[in-house]
Amino acid sequence: MKKSYVSKVAIGLCFSILVSGCGEKKKGDTETADDSKQKETMTEASRTWAEKLGWPAGKKVIMLHADDIGMCPEANEAAEKQLVDGVIQSAAVMIPCPNAEEFISWAVNNPKMDVGLHLTLTSEWKTYRWGTVTPHEEVPGLLDPDKKMWHSVLQVVENASAAEVEKEIRAQIEQSIAWGHRPDHIDSHMGTLFGHPSFMEVYVKVAQEYGIPANIIDLSNPMVVKEFRDKGYPLTDEVVEMVKGYTLPKLDYFSSAPKGETYEEKIANFKTLVQSLDPGLTEIIFHPSVLTDNLKSITGSWQQREWEFTMFSDPDLIQFFKDEGIIFTNWQEIMERFEQMDK
C-alpha cells in the first residue's frame, strides 16, 4: 500500500536515488579468468562517477545548482545573472509556475547555459500557488480542493497515482520542448518523486525514454545508503532493485546549501560542507532570489534566498574554491563526457 511509505518521506530536499551492485571476490590460491574479470568489475565499482567521466582521481567535482527558477521574477533575475557571471553552473525551472516561460525563453537564447526542469508536483506556499500543466480533469489526484497542487509531499503520496504523476511530468517536459528548449536534465521539487517507489519508477522510466539525465545518486557506497535511510528516505529493497538498470550518468553525492543565522555564518557553513565532501561528483542545490517586497510576500525563506544569490559572487568564497582545488561542471559537460565513455 502507498500509505505505508508516507512516514518515511523526507520533505523539502531535491535528490534522486540509485544503487549499484558489487560482487564478492572469489577465494582461491590462483587467479582464474573469472577472478580477474571480477576484480576488474570491483575496481570499476569502487571508482567515483567523477573518475568514470574522466576527471582525476581524488578530486571534488561540484555543480552549484539553482532550484525554483521560474517561480517568480526574483528567482529568474538571480539565476540569469549567476549563470552569465559563471559563478554557478546549472539551474532548473518549475514549469507550472508563473514565470517559467520567460526563463525558458531566456534559455533558448542562451543555449550554452545549463538549464533543466525542476519537475513540480507540489505548491507549498500559503497564498502564492499554481496548478498542473495537465488538464485538471485528467489528474484529479494531484490537485487539492482549490485546484492547486498539494502543499506537501505527504499529500501527493496519499492522493495521487503513479499514472497521474507520469502524465504530469511528461507534460512539463513537453511544455518546455514546445517553448523551444529541450531540458538538459531533470530533478524533483521537494523530492516528491522519491516519496513512493511507484513515483520513482516513472521518474526513471521517463528520464531514460527521453535520454535526459535525472538527478540520480549512485548509492553503491553503503555509508551513503545509510545516511539517506537515516534521514527517512524510503530506500527499500524494491527501490534498490528497481533502479539498478538506470543507464544514464549518476552523481556520487547530493547536498543543499546550509542555512545560517547571519550571512557570515552561512558562508562558513557552506565552506564546512564543501570540506566535508568526499572526492567525486556532487551537486549542491540552493534557491537564489533577488530581494524585493514581492519575494518577502511569497516565502519566509527570503533572507536565505537573497544570501544564496549574493554568496557565490563573494570573492572570499571564490578564493576558497580555488584554494580547495574544486573542479566545477554542469549536466551538459557530464553528458558530453558520458557519451564518450564507450567510444
Grid cell for residue 215: 538527478
Partners of 143 in the beta sheet?
149
Q: Model pTM?
A: 0.88
Spatial separation of the C-alpha atoms in residues 263 and 269, rounded to whole Å:
10
**pLDDT for res 237:** 73
H-assigned helices in the chain: 33-46, 49-52, 73-85, 100-109, 153-159, 162-178, 197-210, 222-230, 237-242, 263-276, 293-298, 302-310, 315-324, 331-340
Q: What percent of the chain has pLDDT over 90?
A: 76
117, amino acid identity: L
Burial per residue of 54-91, b for 16 or more beta-carbon CB atoms within 10 angstroms, e otherwise: ebeeebbbbbbbbbbbbbbbbbbbbbbebbeeebbbbb
pLDDT digits (tens, 9 = 90+) for 324-339: 999 999 999 999 999 9
Spatial separation of the C-alpha atoms in residues 3 and 279, rounded to whole Å:
37
Q: What percent of the chain has pLDDT over 70?
A: 85
> What are phi and psi for residue 181, nearest 5 degrees?
-125, 120
pLDDT digits (tens, 9 = 90+) for 103-120: 999 999 999 999 999 999
